[in-house]
Amino acid sequence: MPFLSRADYEALLYALPQQFPHAILVSTVRLYSTSALTARIVGSIHFVGGVELHVAEFIDFLAGQIRDYSYTVYRGVEKIRWYDPQPHPDTPELASTFPHHRHEPPEIKRNRRPAPGISFDAPNLPTVIADILQLLDED
């Protein structure tokens, strides 16, 4: 499946509150052009239950890829999860989604888990939001 166009990616971002009205209170996620073919996506999504997602992506629409990303999930001021593509080749349990993984408690900095559904080749926010909805359901 080809990567979304800039217009389609922007539509996906701005439709998130309508797509998840029971969970998303407000979104400040915005797409900012950095050139004719690249964009930076930044902002926060506030969920019920005091959960907040900070989003940062750099998109190359010509290559059809996310070049870099960071997704950090907070409950109040506590960081409860984050996703990043920093390679950890010496960690065999991360091989299935290499280099994509998430950090979660306990010992959040060193507790790394595979991140199925996270990639450079497709929008990641639907997967991250699904993970957050699962966290909310566990509460």
Per-residue model confidence (pLDDT) at position 138? 83
Per-residue model confidence (pLDDT) at position 3? 84
Q: What is the pTM of this model?
A: 0.94
128: containing domain: 6-138
For each of the chain's 139 residues, which pLDDT tens digit applies?
Answer: 578 899 999 999 999 999 999 999 999 999 999 999 999 999 999 999 999 999 999 999 999 999 999 999 999 999 999 999 999 989 999 999 999 999 999 999 999 999 999 999 999 999 999 999 999 988 6
Question: Structural domain tally of the chain?
Answer: 1
Contact 45, 27 (CB under 8 A): yes
Does some domain include residue 1?
no
Distances (CA, A) of 50 to 2, 24, 87, 88, 139: 35, 10, 31, 31, 12
**Would you put residue 40 in left (φ > 0), alpha (ψ -120 to 50) or beta?**
beta
Contact 23, 9 (CB under 8 A): no
Does some domain include residue 132?
yes
Nearest CA to 45 out of 132, 105, 135, 113 is that of: 132
Does some domain include residue 68?
yes
Per-residue model confidence (pLDDT) at position 1? 55
